[in-house]
Chain A
Amino acid sequence: MAEVLVLVDHANGEVKKPAAEMLTLARRLGEPSAVFIGPGAETAKDLLARYGAEKIYSVSDPAALESLVAPQAEVLAQLVQEKQPAAVLIPSNSGGKEIGARLAVKTESGLITDAEDVQAGDSGPVTLQSVFAGSYTVNAKVTKGTPIICVKPNSATPEQAAGAGAFEELSVSISDEAKAARITASEPRKSSGRPELAEAAIVVSGGRGTGGDFSPVESFADSLGAAVGASRAAVDAGWYPHSSQVGQTGKQVSPQLYVAAGISGAIQHRAGMQTSKTIVAINKDEEAPIFELVDFGVVGDLFQVLPQATEAVKGK
Chain B
Amino acid sequence: MNIVVCVKHVPDAQSERGFNEDNTTDRDGVDGLLSELDEYAVEQALQIAEAGEGEVTVLTVGPADAADAVKKSLQMGADKGVHVSDEAIAGSDAPATSLILAEAIKKVGSPDLVITGMASTDGTMGVVPAMLAERLGLPQVTYASELTVEDGVATIRRDGDTASETIQASLPALVSVTDQINEPRYPSFKGIMAAKKKPVEEWALADLGVDAGQVGLANAWTAVEQTTKRPPREQGTIVTDEGDGGTKLAEFLTTHKFV
Which residues of A approach B to under 8 Å, CB–CB? 11, 68-70, 73, 94, 97-102, 104-106, 108-114, 126, 130-145, 177, 180-189, 191, 196-197, 202, 224, 232, 241-243, 248-249, 256-257, 267-268, 271, 274, 278-280, 282, 286, 291-301, 304-313, 316
Query: Which secondary structure dominates chain A's binding surface?
Result: mixed
> By the criterion CB–CB under 8 Å, are A134 and B230 in contact?
yes
B222 nearest CB across to chain A (Å): 4
B208-249 with Cβ < 8 A to chain A: 220-230, 232-233, 235-241, 243-249
Shortest Cβ gap from A2 to chain B (Å): 19
| Given A98-B130, A105-B135, 8 more pairs with CB closer than 8 A | A131-B124, A138-B228, A177-B137, A181-B139, A249-B178, A298-B241, A298-B248, A316-B259
> A68, A177, A180, A305: which contacts B245 (Cβ < 8 A)?
A305
Pair B164/A189 contact, Cβ less than 8 Å: yes
A70 CA / B136 CA spacing, docked (Å): 13
A141 touches B94 (CB 8 A): no
**Considering the chains assembled together, what is the distance between the CA atoms of A313 and B249 in angstroms?**
9
Q: Which residues in B have some Cβ–Cβ distance to A below 8 Å?
A: 13-14, 16-19, 23, 37, 93-95, 98, 118-119, 121-122, 124-131, 133-135, 137-143, 145, 155, 159-170, 173, 178-180, 220-230, 232-233, 235-241, 243-254, 256, 258-259
B246 touches A312 (CB 8 A): yes
Instruction: Give the residues in chain A near B14, CB-CB below 8 Å.
Output: 267
Q: Is there an interface contact between A70 and B140, defined as CB atoms closer than 8 Å? A: yes
Q: Are B127 and A98 interface neighbours, CB within 8 A?
A: yes
Taking CB atoms, residues of chain A closer than 8 Å to B95 are 104-105, 108, 110-111
* Closest beta carbon of chain A to B19's beta carbon, Å: 7
Determine the distance from Cα of A308 to Cα of B18 in the docked complex, in whole angstroms.
42
> Do A299 and B221 have beta carbons less than 8 Å apart?
no
B245 and A298 within 8 A (CB):
yes
User: Chain B residue with minimal CB distance to A197?
Assistant: B161
> How far, in Å, is A289 (CB) from chain B's closest CB?
11
Sample (20) of A-B pairs whose CB atoms are under 8 Å apart: A97-B126, A98-B129, A105-B135, A110-B222, A111-B222, A132-B13, A134-B230, A135-B230, A138-B228, A182-B167, A224-B259, A242-B145, A242-B159, A257-B258, A282-B245, A286-B240, A296-B239, A309-B246, A309-B247, A309-B249
| Across-interface contacts of A280 in B (CB, < 8 A) | 249, 252-253
Chain B hits for A94, CB < 8 A: 126, 142-143
Complex: chain A residue closest to B229, CB-CB: A136
